[in-house]
Structure 1
C-alpha cells in the first residue's frame, strides 16, 4: 500500500489555488486544480497527512473505480465488481452520496440506492451477511460522481467535513465556516509575522485559525476521528507517525493575536473555543466596541474580520460601515485591514478605496474579501489603492 494513487480534495469556490499550494507544500505529486476541487497523488501516509494538515480542504476522496455507464444494470454490475469485503468490515455502517450531472440518470437518490444494492449483494455473496446503512453518522462514506456517462466511485477518507475541526464547543450567530476562515486568512497573506486583530470576533474562528497558521499547527489535530480509520487497511502505527511528524513541524509565534467583541456572550464563547483548541497562550479576547478603539500594538497590524451585513443582525448598514471606515482612518495606522461581506452596497459607505476585492462565497451568499491598506506616520488615516 506504499505506492502512490490518485486522490481528490474538495474545497470552496475560489480556494482551488490555495489548496493546490497547500498540497504542493505538503509534498503531493501531480497537483491539478479543478472546479471546487484539486486532484493529486500520494501514498497511504500522505492520505493521512492531507486529512490532518490541509486547512482549505472540505474532504478527501480516494477513487476506487472509474467506468462508463449507460443504464442502471451497468451501474449495478460495475459497483458489484468492486471488492467491498476487502475494503471494510461487515460490522461497519456505510452511506452512499451521489453528485451528478447526467441526462441518463435523473435522480441521485436512485443512483445511491442502486449502488447500495450492488454493494450489499457483493457482501452477501462473499460473507453471507450484509453491512447496515447509516445515513446520518456512518463509519464509511462512499461517494459516487456521475458526469454524463462517466462514473467514479470513491471512498471518502474524511468522514465528517474537514471544516469540523473539533475545537468549536460554543457557537455564536452564524459562525464562519472554519475552512472558509482559514482560506480567507491565507488569501489575505497572513503568515504569522505580524500582530493580528479580529475586531468583531464572534466565537473566535478567525483568531483560532490565525494562531494555527502562525504556529503551523495541523488544522485537524483536534478531531476525534477520520473515516479512513474504519478501513481494513488502516495502518495505526503509520498514522501516529504522521501525527508526530506533523506536530514536529510546529513553530513559535512571537506576536499578539487579539479579538474584540462588544457582546459578553461572544467573548465567553470565543474564550471557550480558544481553550478547547489549546491556544490560550497565543490569543487574548476583550469585550470592546471596535468603534471606540484604536491600535494598541507597535509595528504592523494584520486585521481580518467578518462584520454583520444584514443577513445575521439588524443594523443600520450605511451608518455602521461609515463608522467602520472612520475607525480605521482615525485609529489604525500601519494596518492591513481585510473584511468579508455579502453586502456589496454597504462597502460604498466605508469611505476608503479598497486595494483588493476578491469574490468568495460565504455559504450560498456571494461575498467580497476586501483589503484596505492604512498608512502610518504623516499619512495616518489615508489609504492606498492599487
Structure 2
C-alpha cells in the first residue's frame, strides 16, 4: 500500500456509479464518486491496469499538485515552482489540456498558455533550453483543472481519450462513442448470459462493446499506445505482466451477438470493425431492415440500440419510432429492449411504456436511455383455445 497514489478517472454524465463499480472490481481503494469523475488509489501497475481495462473512463489522471489561485500570475507561479525536470528534459515535448469552470477565468486556452509559459521559462532559466510543445504526440501530457479558485495540475496517463479503443477504422453517420456504448450496456445489465441483438448497428460499436463485456476482454487491448508508455518511470515488463494477467481473465461466451443494418455501407464498416477487434467468432453482422425481422428463438433476448434521432438523418421520426414499438410488440416477445435517443418527442410515438428512463448525454445532446420489457402476451390470449 505504501506505493499507492491518488488518481482520477474522468467519465461521462450518468456513468459515475458504474465507473466506481468497475474500479472496485479491478481492486481500487478509497473510491469516491465526483461530477463526471471518480477518484481512487492504486500503484503504478494499477494505473496501467485501469487504462487497459476500464470501459467507462475517458481519461485516467495522476494529480501532482492542488492549489488556490487568485489570478493568472498565481497560476504561472504555482506551475513554475513544480519540478518538471523530474518528468521531462528540454529534449522532450509536452502539451497542456485545460478545463476551466470559473466565473473569473473564461478562457481555458489562455490558462493553458500561461501554464505552458511557466514550464518553458523554468527550463530556460535552469538549463538555457526549453522543451517544445507537441499537441498531437507529446512525451508528457499535462492536465490543468480549474474550478473557481481551485487548481489541480495532473499528468494525463491515458493520452488520447480512452473511447478511442483502436478497433474502429470505419464509422457511419452519427457514430456512437465507445465509452457511451459500454456505459449503456452496463446500465442495461448486460452480462453475456443470453443472446444479444443491436437492430440498427451502424458501424458496429454496440455489438463490439457487448462482446468485449460478455468475454471480459480488456476494453483497450487493441489500442496502440497510452501516454504513460512515454514516462521516464515506465516499466515495460510490469505492463506486459498486467496485459498477460488481464487476458487470462477472459471467459467463453455461449450465446449469439447479432447486428442488423439496412445500409450496405454500414454493414461493410461494421464487419471491418468486428474483424479489427478480433471478434468474428462472437459477432455476426447482417444486412437487414429491423422492421422486417422477427425473433428467431423462444429464449430471453437482450437488445440495445441507438436509433436515428433526426439530427443528421432525413427520416419521418414519428412513424419511424411507432414502427420501432410495433416491431418490438409484435415480433420480439421475451425481450429486454433498451434504446437511446435525444428526440424525446419521437419517443412518445413508440407506444410502449418504458420501465426505466435514464438521463445521459450523447455528445452535447441531452438524451434518454429507455428500457421496454416485452412480454409474451397475456396467458389468457395464449391459452384461449382450451
TM over 0.5: yes
What CA distance in whole angstroms lies between the structure 2 residues aligned with 1:379 and 1:285?
34
**Structure 1 segment 22-171 matched on structure 2, within 5 A:** 22-171=22-171
* 8 Å CA contact 1:333, 1:381 repeated in 2: no
Q: Cα–Cα, structure 1 residues 381 and 92, in superposed 2: closer, same or farther, change >3 Å?
A: farther
Unaligned runs of 5+ residues in structure 1 are: none
| Root mean square deviation of aligned Cα | 1.7
Matched with 1:264 is 264
Match status 1:9 vs 2:9: yes
1:265-291 CA-partner distances (Å, limit 9, x unpaired): 111100000000000000001111100
What CA distance in whole angstroms lies between the structure 1 residues aligned with 2:243 and 2:381?
46
* 8 Å CA contact 1:359, 1:367 repeated in 2: yes
1:209-265 CA-partner distances (Å, limit 9, x unpaired): 000000000000100000111111111111111111111110000000001111111
Q: Cα–Cα, structure 1 residues 279 and 146, in superposed 2: closer, same or farther, change >3 Å?
A: same
Matched with 1:236 is 236
What CA distance in whole angstroms lies between the structure 2 residues aligned with 1:353 and 1:36?
29
Deviates more, 1:79-88 or 1:239-248: 79-88
What CA distance in whole angstroms lies between the structure 2 residues aligned with 1:197 and 1:293?
11
* 8 Å CA contact 1:332, 1:381 repeated in 2: no
1:298-334 CA-partner distances (Å, limit 9, x unpaired): 4110000011121121111111111111111111011
Matched with 1:176 is 176
* 8 Å CA contact 2:298, 2:334 repeated in 1: no
Provide the TM-score with structure 2 as the length reference: 0.95
Matched with 2:368 is 368
Residue 129 of structure 1: how far off its partner (Å):
2.2
Unaligned runs of 5+ residues in structure 2 are: none
SS at match of 1:220: coil
What CA distance in whole angstroms lies between the structure 2 residues aligned with 1:158 and 1:362?
22
Provide the TM-score with structure 1 as the length reference: 0.95
What CA distance in whole angstroms lies between the structure 2 residues aligned with 1:12 and 1:131?
33
What CA distance in whole angstroms lies between the structure 1 residues aligned with 2:380 and 2:8?
47
Deviates more, 1:350-359 or 1:208-217: 350-359
What CA distance in whole angstroms lies between the structure 2 residues aligned with 1:203 and 1:330?
27
